[in-house]
Structure formats: C-alpha cells, structure tokens
Amino acid sequence: MTFEPGPPVALPHSLCSVTLLMPDPGTAADFYTEAWGLSAVERDGTAAWLRGTGTEHHILHLAHGERNALGKIAFALRTRREVDDAARALAALDVPVVREPGPLDGAGGGYGLWFVDPEGRLVELSVELEAVPYRDIRGREAVPRKLAHAVLNTVDIDATTGFYTRVLGMRVSDWSEHQMSFLRCNSDHHVIAFNQAPWTSLNHVAYELPSIDHFMRGIGKLKRAGIAPMWGPGRHGPGDNTFSYFTDPAGLVCEYTSEVAQIDEDAWLCRVWPRTPELSDQWGTAGPPPASVREHMAGIPDPGYFGRAGDR
C-alpha cells in the first residue's frame, strides 16, 4: 500500500494503551499487578485494564485470544473534530475504518474510531477517555508511570514506517541500520518502533519508570521475587534510554525503561545508528541480546484484525 504525499489524517499526541491478547490473561494480570507494579482499574472475567501512576485510565488491557497477539494500539487525539476528520481522510486513502467515530464502549469510555493498518494492526484514535487521579507514590516504590513505547515486528519496515509517518504524521527520530525505525509523536524519542522481521507480531512493550533509581529498584524488586531479566540492565544507543527486558506469563516481552531522550523538534537530526556493541549497549553491562529473548521478541505470526475474525 503506497500513498501519494499529503497531509496526515491526524496527529496523535501520545500513546495511550496497548491491548494484548493471550490464552490466559488472568495469570498475566496477576503478574502485572503483583510483580510489575501496575494496578487494576477494572477486571471483567479474566480481562483486565491496568494503570500506572499517570492519569491515563489504563495503559495495558489484557484480553483473551486463542494465541498471543497485539489486540490494539491506542493513540490520543485532542478533539472530536480531529477524530471525525481522521475517519474521512482514512476512507479517502482506502484505509479500512472498522469502527466509525462514536462513543467507545470499552473501559474508560471516550470517543474514537478504529482503523486497520496495512499489516493488520488495529489502531484506535480517541479523545475524552476517562482520566484517573495521579497515583502519588510515596518513597521510591518502582511503579511504571506510563507506557514508553511498543516495538512492532514488520515484514516491510519501509512500507510500515512510511504508513505511520504519512498517515499519523509521526517523525522518524532514528534508524538502527535498516533493521529498526524509531517514531515519535511528541517529545519522547519514540512511542513506537518497527523492527524488520520474518513475520508481523508484537516485539515488546516498554513501561517508563520515573527515574533511573526507580528503574534499578524495579529490577531488584523483580529479582527478589525470583524474576530475572532476560536481557539487561543496559542503556540503548538510539533513544539513550535504559532497558531491562522480562517476559510475562504469556511469554510476551515487557521492558522497564527510564530516561528516554527528549527531542527538540527544531534541532533534532535523524541518524542511522550502526549496530555495534558499543552503541547497542552503551554501559557494556548487557551484552548482546541472548537467543531466548530474541525468540520471545519474534513471537508467533500475528494474523491481524481481519485474520482473527473467527476469534471474535
């Protein structure tokens, strides 16, 4: 799917939440609430909506699926008019809008639309989601503040990067050779990144800790609970963020991160980073990613929204 140059259909200002599908969301919800540091806002059977300390109603939605998959990725717009305009512009580009603008009936409500990207990912654009009070954490408890980013495996990094820059006006902050592209929609270095891979799937979801001290305390808390990082801690080159990767009970990869680079739109220069050990692991503490974490990051082929029609 290629598009003529033109204005974006919308300009999201933040990544709100991801929905992960898995055979046993209840067990994963226990992990994310008891070990990872999130709190349940709502539970419905085995499905759960989980928050961090920020005002997003939820940042992670866990729901049942026959197989592990990315259920949805949600971005915030500012006004209903932007949602309505986006629907018309998406239709004009022949991008399938599978939920027309209107009230959203999921937890947190709001007003929005759903569309499907060329690789089958379901994307929500929304406004007016119910906010929750900032959760004041006393002391240095390691609780994620918000989603930092989602990394998505793609079979065509150029086409997929092109879609998100053209359609959602995202800017490419950096490339890691021709293997990964890092895209931003606000001052954070990236809110999504694409990784060239043999099939489409979720690579991992990253959660931002408020400081490097919280980040290290989070790793320690998990370690005391018998949960060791699969890779990390370390500090990436592109984005300059700290990283430590774990797997949840479903086998999906989750990351603690902090100190992601902040972008000055007027001064930033996009670079292509060589994939050298010194740049991939600035501190030299993590080493290269072990085969086990790469296997979990590859996951299984995701049939996408239309391919899951039988599951719904």
# of chain residues touching Fe ion (CB under 5 A): 2
CA 250 to chain CA mean position, Å: 17
User: Taking contact as CB under 5 A, which single stretch among the options 67-75, 110-118, 182-190, 203-211 is the one that binds Fe ion?
Assistant: 203-211
Of 22 and 180, nearer to Fe ion (C-beta) is 180
* 237-256 footprint of Fe ion as x/- string (CB under 5 A): ------------------x-
Which residues are bridge partners to 175 per DSSP?
181, 272
**Shortest Å, Cβ 202 to Fe ion:** 12
Of 57 and 235, nearer to Fe ion (C-beta) is 235
Structure tokens at 184: 């931003």
Which residues are bridge partners to 151 per DSSP?
193, 204
**Shortest Å, Cβ 255 to Fe ion:** 5
User: Taking contact as CB under 5 A, which single stretch among the options 12-20, 25-33, 123-131, 205-213 is the one that binds Fe ion?
Assistant: 205-213
Q: Does the footprint of Fe ion cover residue 297 (CB under 5 A)?
A: no
Of 38 and 206, nearer to Fe ion (C-beta) is 206
**Shortest Å, Cβ 149 to Fe ion:** 6
**Residues 53-92 contacting Fe ion, CB under 5 A:** none
Residue that is written with structure tokens 């370390």 in the block:
234
CB 14 within 8 A of CB 185: yes
**Shortest Å, Cβ 15 to Fe ion:** 12
- The helix/strand/coil state of 150 is strand
236 Cβ neighbours under 8 A, 6+ residues apart? 242, 243, 280, 281, 282
Of 60 and 104, nearer to Fe ion (C-beta) is 60
**Shortest Å, Cβ 206 to Fe ion:** 4
- The helix/strand/coil state of 220 is helix
Q: Does the footprint of Fe ion cover residue 206 (CB under 5 A)?
A: yes
CB 260 within 8 A of CB 241: yes
Residue with the closest Cβ to Fe ion? 206
Q: Does the footprint of Fe ion cover residue 107 (CB under 5 A)?
A: no
Q: Cα–Cα distance between 249 and 259 in angstroms, integer?
A: 27
Structure tokens at 195: 């990784």
CB 201 within 8 A of CB 301: yes
**Residues 253-272 contacting Fe ion, CB under 5 A:** 255
Q: Cα–Cα distance between 26 and 157 in angstroms, integer?
A: 33
**Shortest Å, Cβ 239 to Fe ion:** 8
Peptide bond before residue 303 is cis, with ω within 30 degrees of 0: no
**Shortest Å, Cβ 215 to Fe ion:** 13
**Shortest Å, Cβ 190 to Fe ion:** 8
User: Taking contact as CB under 5 A, which single stretch among the options 21-29, 75-83, 200-208, 218-226 is the one that binds Fe ion?
Assistant: 200-208
Q: Cα–Cα distance between 162 and 193 in angstroms, integer?
A: 12
Binding site for Fe ion (CB under 5 A): 206, 255
